[in-house]
Amino acid sequence: MFHSLLKFATVTCLALSANAARYPSFGTLQTTNSSGVLNVAINNTFSPINLFDFHVAADLANLIETLQANDTDIRVVVFSSGNKDFFIAHFDINFVLPGYGACFVSLLWNITQLPQATIAAIEGRARGIGNEFIMACDMRFATTAPSVLLGQIETSLGVIPGAGGGLYLAHEIGRGRALEYVLSAQDIDGATAERIGWINRAFPTSSALADYVQTLAARIALFPPAGIAAAKKEVDAVGRPSKELFIRKSQDVFDVLVGTPAAQELEEKLIALTHNQSIGPLELSYGTEVFELYK
């Protein structure tokens, strides 16, 4: 199954950023823009669990390409989700294949390098590349709702977080805690994530989250863009892993592990147990349901 998809996946990956930017509509990304703040709602209508698949990746590549051109009109980008149960469930497991991880790593690396300030306003689950996506943003805010569950689930699938999840977490929450979560594939809730520094803050309600994030974004967007971009670079000099580490890690380690029989078997089992990534116990409560994969 996986080998038959390999060619298609490679080709599609190369085409990720080939389309001309389709501002302000990016298909799976709904955007609104006012006073220097671009709000982007991730709403993958091809997936009930807001999967990070090729639709989302291609739309994000287009959006990022536009933002990379130093559009000084936009100074802050706020990412939220059109699916209140899933911010981004995880990567589409049908396409976890050797040889093209670098493409998604490049996409997330590009988010870290944007001149605009980036904020994730998180409602719902963000696991695997979903968590790596929020970590690639400059700031993370969430709610304390039970639907907010973050996690790096890759070790339980025989691979590693391939787009910097371990690197980001080691930096934000420290080595011991990063390993606690990365090795166990446990979920973390909003309140605990706030307490240990995985996210900036967790709010009791959606509206409190939205109010805080929009006020913060509007405030930052008043300031000159050159200063925003330069301040990010200064913080990142000690606050982000280097590009070499970030990219090489994915290519060398992730791609080797993905090709192992253990990983392929676990991925096929996940597809079967979730009925091809539909809403169900495993997608809703991966942290407690992961044992189903090992029965």
Instruction: Kindly list the residues in this chain that would bind ligand NAG in the complex (CB under 6 A).
Output: 16-17, 23-24, 30, 33, 41, 43, 45, 53, 61, 69-71, 73-74, 82, 92, 94, 103, 106-107, 110, 115, 229, 276
DSSP code per residue over 232-287: HHHHHHHHS--HHHHHHHIIIIIHHHHTSHHHHHHHHHHHHHTTTT-SSHHHH-HH
Residue 138 or 172 having the CB closest to ligand NAG: 138
Contacts of 54 (CB under 8 A, 6+ apart): 12, 16, 92, 95
Residue 108 or 182 having the CB closest to ligand NAG: 108
CB of 150 vs ligand NAG, minimal distance in Å:
21
Q: Specify the long-range contacts of residues 230-239, CB closer than 8 Å, at least 24 apart.
A: 232/115, 232/117, 232/138, 236/112, 239/171
**Nearest residue to ligand NAG, using CB?**
82
* CB of 148 closer than 8 Å to CB of 125: yes
CB of 58 vs ligand NAG, minimal distance in Å:
9
CB of 52 vs ligand NAG, minimal distance in Å:
11
Residue 23 or 223 having the CB closest to ligand NAG: 23
CB of 106 vs ligand NAG, minimal distance in Å:
4
Contacts of 179 (CB under 8 A, 6+ apart): none
Instruction: Walk across the sheet containing 139-143 and list its strands.
Output: 29-34, 37-42, 76-81, 117-122, 139-143, 201-203
CB of 33 vs ligand NAG, minimal distance in Å:
4
CB of 56 vs ligand NAG, minimal distance in Å:
11
